[in-house]
Structure 1
Amino acid sequence: MMGFPAEKKVNRNFYKLFTERQQLNYRLHSVSCTGTEVHLSMCTFEFYRGNASAACRAGMPAVVSCLPGPLFAAGNAHKKKQRQQQQGQPRIRLKGGARVGEGRVEVLKSSEWGTICDDRWNLLSASVVCRELGFGSAKEALTGARMGQGTGPIHLNEVQCQGTEKSLWSCPFRNITQEDCKHTEDAAVRCNIPYMGYENLIRLAGGRTVFEGRVEVKRGSKWGTVCSDGWTTKEAMVACRQLGLGYSLHAVTETWYWDASNVTEMVMSGVKCAGHEMSLSHCQHHGTSLSCRNTGTRFAAGIICSETASDLLLHAPLVQETAYIEDRPLHMLYCAAEENCLSSSARLANWPYGHRRLLRFSSQIHNHGRADFRPKAGRHSWVWHECHRHYHSMDIFTHYDILTPNGTKVAEGHKASFCLEDTECEEDVAKRYECANFGEQGITVGCWDLYRHDIDCQWIDITDVKPGNYILQVVINPNFEVAESDFTNNAMKCNCKYDGHRIWVHSCHIGDALSEEANKRFEQYPGQLNNQIS
């Protein structure tokens, strides 16, 4: 209940001495749990009636000492010991949750991560997941993809734990068949976690609702603002999590339009977060030696939080199926050159003669989250491109890169989101965004935006790439400009072999879809050739 996965023995004699000096009031006795309950109130017990202070003559206060999970272990030695105990790749993880200890449950089977179907999903099974991950019992067992839809296989169905199991894999379950379940039925959990009090060290001021405002943090006994230099979606995500307000919708770097409170002093600068931290104080920052380019409350950091967020991911098989090489004449590439869609060596070419070699493929971007994906910029600041006759709503929406197996970039393309729209949707989902006639741009939950291989700039210029083995990488929303519930699934990778004339693209997968070992094999040993593409 208190958020800890296990307990350790305690010195009862110490507490016996302590209680002899105290006048104690007892409330409960004869508490009898089976150990599978998620809350103490679900055990059998009796209340003391009448003079409670005279009760429990033969006993003493019940005492418990809790062992923290890896995320909450105090000392490094403890963390090291726990890491040794948990050696090997974890076979279970949580994805897409705003807070620590919540998310869609994913399990690893045959080197591939997949989800759990919510049939018969309950608090007992959810508690086994929570304890296995180093948290306490489950607060909620969520059904119906409440933490967003996963991708890939659905590994388990009808999981029925008794509640005492050490691992979800020890529980009875049914293997899944495609007809049984869909990702709209992905199971999720909210776990009990230890109370850390982080929400008492941060507050919002001046916003129109409780979900927004200028960030104020407590350093020692003093409240102050945070410098907005380098303040991005990642830092805002941590601030929203610390406040318990869900996901970051916007990282605000100018807060002059929010009413000023009496706090004007800046107490934190240089904040740089990875995005998973529980508190801003856990991120890198300047400490006591503050340094801020723009001081004053006008440039104090602010946030707008949301209980839901989008989650974009690429349909990897389509990239593999549609990839091919085209030698495109330079006289057909003036617009693309104007929009910076060719490699830098194209500037030295003998225009309009000659050609560029392009690796072309289709990309289909799905929104599996719980909120629509909208461009960061409002339509008033979209940029009109006369040559292609369309508006760009984001400077860079995707990065397309060719990497060597050790990660060195040898070719790149990038694509502004000139037209974010609902190309197709799942059954029962209505399209909401259409670019035509200066329409609204975005991707609705349950819909996808398709960029066909024959669209300008839907390519990587590989004119200067030498024959060899490579990795094709596509990253959506690479600068984290728009909030998502999960940024770890924004990259897709494929193995490539290029012989100077043709290219073979295979083993395409979302970046976090495979086990660590499978990913290492993928990066170190480009696989056998298949899916020959001419």
Structure 2
Amino acid sequence: MVMSGVKCTGTEMALSQCQHHKTVSCQKAAAKFAAGVICSETASDLVLNASLVQQTVYIEDRPLHMLYCAAEENCLSKSAAKANWPYGHRRLLRFSSEIHNIGRADFKPKAGRHSWVWHACHGHTHTYDLLSVKCLISLNKTRLKTGHNKSFCIKSDIQPHEGVSKRYECANFGDQGITVGCWDQYRHDIDCQWIDITDVRPGNYIMQVVINPNHEVAESDFTNNAMKCNCKYDGHRIWFHNCHIGDALSEEAERIFEKYPGQLNNRIS
């Protein structure tokens, strides 16, 4: 152990610039809280396709009898546990997401195959928790609803350009990842690719999606991992407007964004 009591703000250029104890503490009790560091000249960089979210969003009233697998994976709001199963339905805000790797290294799951978990109901393997988190936030910054994706198969590795060779294919328990210059795609009709808005009241909201939210896999840039949209919900229909990556607008534009524009140009029903 070379450093202890390390606290970083994220702006430091080296670990030595972080706050830390002057002397190294090697207490046995602290061993389980220790962390290792691997330095690399290259890293992946994930960016969500914001325009695809805006183009594909819609509301679905899905019957409860079709949501048993999703309920097992905690993909519904807490109130679903009190519903009259299998009768009734849940109102889901659905959309497709496309995660591009624009970095200089492939994006790979943090854990090896030995830790992948098989989910029998859905018939797929989870590689790691929380590839993305989806939040519906009120204009006073109160988080109302949260949805999430567990990475069950980074399978798409779609080739956008000639000369880019994809390296990953999850079929038959193959290797999983996103090659540099390729992307992974979660279609709107996949279980858990939604936010359960059954209990959400009509109003104006901000919808936010964050990929790799816990920074569990190294990236060269985390500032472009969040995407936000204006959202207006009237109880029957939903409008999305101004979907953009978190660092795509200036601070002044962000303040205007949060005041919610009076004119919306994308109505979804």
2:143 to 406, 409, 416: 409
The answer on whether the counterparts of 1:422 and 1:442 sit within 8 Å (CA) in structure 2 is: no
Partner residue in 1 for 2:133: 399
Question: Residue 286 and residue 413 in structure 1: after superposition, are their counterparts in 2 closer, same or farther (change >3 A)?
Answer: farther
Over the matched positions of the two proteins, sequence identity in percent amounts to 72
Cα distance, 1:293 vs structure 2? 7.3
| 2:228 counterpart (493, 513, 526) | 493
Of 251, 260, 267, the residue aligned with 1:516 is 251
Out of 373, 394, 397, the position equivalent to 2:107 is: 373
> Contact 1:496/1:526 (CA < 8 Å) preserved in 2?
no
TM-superposition CA deviations, 1:269-308 (whole Å, max 9, x none): 2x23232213435434466796967346x86432112110
Whether contact under 8 Å (1:311, 1:486) holds in the other structure is yes
Note closer, same or farther for the CA distance 1:283–1:327 as it changes in structure 2 (3 Å cut). same
Q: CA deviation at 1:449?
A: 0.7
Counterpart amino acid of residue 189 in structure 2: D
* Paired residue secondary structure (1:522): helix
- Which of 360, 381, 386 is the matching residue for 2:94? 360
The alignment's TM-score, normalised by the length of structure 1, stands at 0.48
Change in 2 beyond 3 A, CA 1:477/1:278? same
5+ unaligned residues in a row in structure 1: which ranges?
1-214, 217-225, 227-267
Alignment of 1:323-334 (within 5 A): 323-334=57-68
Cα deviation, residue 329, structure 1 = 0.4
| Corresponding residue of 1:337 | 71
Report the secondary structure of 2:129's partner residue: coil
Q: Distance in 2 between matches of 1:385 and 1:333?
A: 15
Report the TM-score, using the length of structure 2 for normalisation.
0.94
Listed as ranges, the matches of 1:31-180 within 5 Å are none
**1:121-160 CA distance string (max 9 Å, x none):** xxxxxxxxxxxxxxxxxxxxxxxxxxxxxxxxxxxxxxxx
- 1:336-359 per-position Cα deviation (integer Å, ceiling 9, x unaligned): 000110111111111111100000
Distance 2:21 2:238 in 1: 48
User: Which secondary structure does the structure 2 equivalent of 1:372 belong to?
Assistant: coil
Instruction: Give the counterpart letter for 1:406 in structure 2.
Output: N
> Residue 295 and residue 433 in structure 1: after superposition, are their counterparts in 2 closer, same or farther (change >3 A)?
same
Partner residue, 1:444: 179
Does the CA-based 8 Å contact 1:422-1:431 persist in structure 2? no
CA distance in 2, matches of 1:518, 1:450: 29
Code of the aligned partner of 2:240: V
Distance verdict in 2 for CA 1:289–1:425, change over 3 Å: closer
Say whether the 8 Å CA contact 2:230–2:260 is kept in structure 1. no
With over 3 angstroms needed to count, the CA separation of the structure-2 counterparts of 1:307 and 1:502, relative to structure 1, is: same
SS state of the match for residue 444, structure 1?
coil
Cα shift readout 1:175-228 (whole Å, capped 9, x = no counterpart): xxxxxxxxxxxxxxxxxxxxxxxxxxxxxxxxxxxxxxxx62xxxxxxxxx3xx
Q: 1:467 to 1:431 in 2, by over 3 A?
A: same
Aligned residues: 268
For 1:531, the aligned partner's letter is: N
DSSP 3-state at the match of 2:172: coil
What CA distance in whole angstroms lies between the structure 2 residues aligned with 1:356 and 1:489? 32
Q: What are the equivalent positions in structure 2 for 1:156-235 lying under 5 Å apart?
A: 216=2, 226=3
User: Unpaired segments of 5 or more residues in structure 2?
Assistant: none
> 2 CA distance for matches of 1:417 and 1:313?
16
Larger Rg: 1
C-alpha separation in 2, matches of 1:346 and 1:400: 18
Match of 1:424 among 158, 163, 177: 158
1:475 has 2:237 as partner: no
Cα distance in 2, alignment partners of residues 382 and 412 from structure 1: 24
Structure 2 counterparts to residues 240-255 of structure 1, below 5 A: none
